[in-house]
């Protein structure tokens, strides 16, 4: 069974940093598109960052996190990371790891398989 499993959420003051991790259970992270999404209370889920498999297409970010967040993967550990710097209170949300079980993902709309999420809370 394909399942992303997130960890690393927590509470941090504005301006601080957190790193989220997502372990791929039941599939090889190096073969698939992987991404991060978030959902704040009362808001729709939004794309944060996404990347193609190595040698594939581009890595891209949501407009609100460009320049502050960095997505990366460690294929040996079958893990996806999200380094979040210069955090703002508006970054507070449940963060989800996702895959589309494929190697092509030109936009956030192409993702369909979600983890359970990890909470990030940024205080002002």
Contacts of 41 (CB under 8 A, 6+ apart): none
Read off the pLDDT of residues 94-112 as tens digits, 9 standing for 90 and up.
999 999 888 999 999 999 9
Max Cα–Cα distance, the chain, nearest Å: 40
User: For residue 10, how far is the Cα from the chain centroid?
Assistant: 15
Q: What confidence category does residue 120 fall into, taking pLDDT thresholds of 50, 70 and 90?
A: very high
**CA–CA distance from 39 to each of 22, 44, 45 (Å)?**
17, 6, 4
Residue 39's Cβ-side half-sphere holds a number of Cα atoms within 13 Å equal to: 12
Read off the pLDDT of residues 22-69 as tens digits, 9 standing for 90 and up.
998 888 888 899 999 999 999 999 999 999 998 888 999 999 999 999
Spatial distance between the Cα atoms of 20 and 32, rounded to a whole number of angstroms: 19
């Amino acid at each position: 069974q394909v399942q992303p499993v997130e960890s690393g959420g927590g509470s941090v003051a504005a301006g601080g940093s957190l790193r989220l991790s997502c372990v791929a259970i039941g599939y090889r992270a190096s073969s698939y598109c992987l991404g991060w999404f978030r959902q704040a209370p009362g808001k729709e889920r939004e794309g944060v960052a996404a990347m193609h498999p190595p040698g594939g297409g581009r890595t891209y970010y949501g407009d609100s996190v460009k320049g502050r967040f960095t997505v990366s993967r460690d294929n040996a550990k079958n893990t996806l990371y999200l380094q979040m710097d210069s955090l703002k209170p508006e970054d507070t949300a449940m963060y989800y790891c996702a895959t589309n079980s494929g190697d092509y993902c030109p936009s956030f709309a192409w993702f369909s398989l979600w983890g359970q999420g990890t909470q990030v809370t940024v205080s002002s």
